[in-house]
Amino acid sequence: MFVRTENFRTFTKLYPIITTIAAIHLVLWTSVQFTDFFRDLTIGNNYLIWNGEYWRLITPIFLHVSLTHLLFNTLSLVLFGPGLERMLGRGKFILIYLLGGILANIATLLLAPVLYSHLGASGAIFALFGVYLYMVFFRPDLISNANSQIILIILGISLVMTFFTHNVNIYAHLFGFLAGTILAPFFLGKGNKTFNRSLSQIFPNIRRTTHQTSKGQSIIWVVLIALVLIGIISRFV
């Protein structure tokens, strides 16, 4: 589910929504490098939102403050988004992505200081993690044990980094994740409760010999480690 074997052309055809979002990330990041006007017009700012500039609940989802910020969120989207875009379909995928990001920004509006400013796709991406968490425990027919392990581990790492990484919108991360988890059954269905998966079923044997680890899983772990390193580096940029 998380191993990308497609070339660039095939990827763009199979996952047009993710490709479009990634392209928007790049174009907007490039734009704000040359002028502050566009960033000032679109950045999330609680004071301005309270004064009627409601588009700022949406536009920050596509903005990034630095190259490492851009790379971390876009790579996370490219790694974890395709499985959901294919499973949900284009319409449902973009809907839950935007809803997760908007609800995360609304939580930021309600809980953060009035003069608080923010930008980034993290709230929307954490909403995708919330959908995966629902799948892990309540729709095991949609995700394997191996992929469930990856989701839980990367989610744990991401939540830890939320509290220890510099200049992170904690409200967006937590409430984006919560929004995705709550919205998931409406998009995926409730499934069969008798087939719910427990944590002990996901990690039946923590010790795993080297020859049991597939090449695809090794690639996934390399990418995950790279994402963590990018996140740590972004703390100092």
Q: Identify whether the C-beta of residue 44 lies closer than 8 Å to the C-beta of residue 58.
A: no
Q: Identify whether the C-beta of residue 234 lies closer than 8 Å to the C-beta of residue 165.
A: yes
Does the annotation mark 234 as catalytic?
Answer: no
Selecting among 25, 64, 118, 173, the annotated active-site residue is: 173
Cα 92 to Cα 89: distance, rounded to the nearest angstrom: 6
Burial class (CB in 10 A: 0-12, 13-18, 19+), 103: buried
Does the annotation mark 144 as catalytic?
Answer: no
Selecting among 64, 69, 117, 122, the annotated active-site residue is: 122
DSSP state at residue 65:
S
Q: CB-based contacts of 45: which residues, under 8 Å, 6+ apart? A: 53, 56, 115, 116, 117
* Catalytic sites, residue numbers: 122, 173
